[in-house]
Amino acid sequence: MDTRLTLEKRIEAELKSYDGKMCIYADDLKGNVIAIGADEKFETASTVKTYILACLFDEIEKGHASLEDMLTYKQSHVVDGSGVLCALDPGAVLRVKDVATLMIIVSDNIATNMMIDYLGQDTINECIQKLGCKDTVLHNPIHFDQYEKLGTTTPRDYASMFTRLAKHELISPASDEKMLEIFKKQHYNSMITKYFHHFYMYSDKTDDILVQVASKSGSMDACRNDGGIIYTPYGPYVLVMLNKEFSDAMYYPAHPATVFGARVSRMLFDQFIALEGRFVL
């Protein structure tokens, strides 16, 4: 028996009763990868905001953008859905840094449209290709009444963003660290940490948190996605889970995609902890 396949087989067995399709890419950053349907194409939903953030910092490196630039929230940016800017009237002025942070940590759709307008859709797609994500594209700004598709990606492409971020090899060490600071403030870890034991996430005796996550999820009627870096006492690892073809389009905390994603995440976490920082011996 090839012991390297044991974890994949356990995951596949777990997903046998799942009403949907989940594809996975996980990397323990020590040479061991779990890849199940890694090149399958999925709707990005809000995970495309990760690529937009990377493009922002790429443009900053080139001197074409600045975190201190001021952006105006316009009527053309208005869209329903996640975020907090929908509570404000058009006309509000925010720093690029603040717009980018809202785009990630509360998945603000209006902030995302402001960022797409600031950078340019063509610039974003050129950057995505330059970063080697050949199967990823931003199709449109976020306007649900105008467009059916937001973006397309694969588990391999999405995981590559976080793998390189974890190694500080995506844009530059300084830019990557600034991006990680934003991702670590994420408010929504609907799948990755749902079933982690509270011991690892909170401590009533010290200020230390044993496990921290830098991530970005995304959900639309046709998909439920999550991905990021999980920092543990034995080092970090990367996990991406993309879901589609489920029968229930409604969004709620106990959606099967979220539940099964959380189970898979816990399996990988337990293995990584048990083997002290690896998926396989």
- pLDDT higher than threshold 80 for residue 106: yes
Beta strands (DSSP E) in 154-222 are: 212-215, 218-220
In this structure, the answer to whether residues 54 and 142 fall within a common structural domain is yes
Boundaries of domain holding 191: 1-40+183-281
* pLDDT confidence band for 199 (50 / 70 / 90): confident
Q: What is the mean pLDDT of residues 105-122?
A: 97
212 with 280, same domain: the answer is: yes
Q: Yes or no: say if 7 and 269 are a contact pair by the CB < 8 Å rule.
A: no
Instruction: For residue range 11-51, list pLDDT tens digits in order.
Output: 999 999 999 999 999 999 999 999 999 999 999 999 999 99
Of all residues in the chain, what percent carry a pLDDT higher than 90?
Answer: 83
CA angle 122, 125, 129 (to 5 degrees): 140
Q: Are residues 48 and 95 in the same domain?
A: yes
Q: Give domain status of residue 142, yes or no.
A: yes
| pLDDT the model gives residue 156 | 98
In this structure, the number of other CB atoms found within 10 A of the CB of residue 211 comes to: 18
Q: Specify whether 198 is located in the same domain as 145.
A: no
In angstroms, the CA 259 to CA 208 distance is 27
In a domain, 158, yes or no: no
**CATH code (residue 78):** 3.40.710.10
CB 107 within 8 A of CB 34: no
- Which pLDDT score, from 0 to 100, does residue 229 have? 98
* Whether 53 and 27 share a structural domain: no
**Boundary of a domain, candidates 153, 171, 203:** 153
33 and 67 inside one domain: no
Specify the CATH number for the domain of residue 194: 3.30.450
Q: For helices 48-61 and 109-119, what crossing angle results, to 10°? A: 40
**Does residue 208 surpass a pLDDT of 90?**
no
Domain membership of residue 171 (yes or no) is: no
- What is the percent of the chain with per-residue pLDDT over 70, rounded to a whole number? 95
Q: Is the pLDDT of residue 4 over 60?
A: no
pLDDT for 171-196, tens place per residue?
Answer: 999 999 999 999 999 998 879 999 99
Q: pTM higher than 0.85, yes or no?
A: yes
Residues 82 and 104 in one domain: yes
pLDDT for 204: 53
Q: Are residues 237 and 197 in the same domain?
A: yes
209 and 191 both lie in a single domain: yes
Q: 233-258 pLDDT, tens per residue?
A: 999 999 999 999 999 998 888 999 99
Residue 24 backbone phi and psi in degrees, to 5: -135, 145
**pLDDT at residue 9 is higher than 60:** yes
Backbone φ and ψ of 231, nearest 5°: -95, 125
The answer to whether residues 113 and 24 belong to one domain is no
- Give me the number of domains the chain comprises: 2
Residue 165 lies in a domain: no
Has residue 224 got a pLDDT over 80?
yes
Q: Is residue 147 located within the same domain as residue 59? A: yes
Given a cut of 70, is residue 163 above it in pLDDT?
Answer: yes
The predicted pLDDT at position 81 comes to: 84
Q: Look at residue 143 and tell me if it is in a domain.
A: yes
Tokens for 141, please give them. Answer: 């700004």
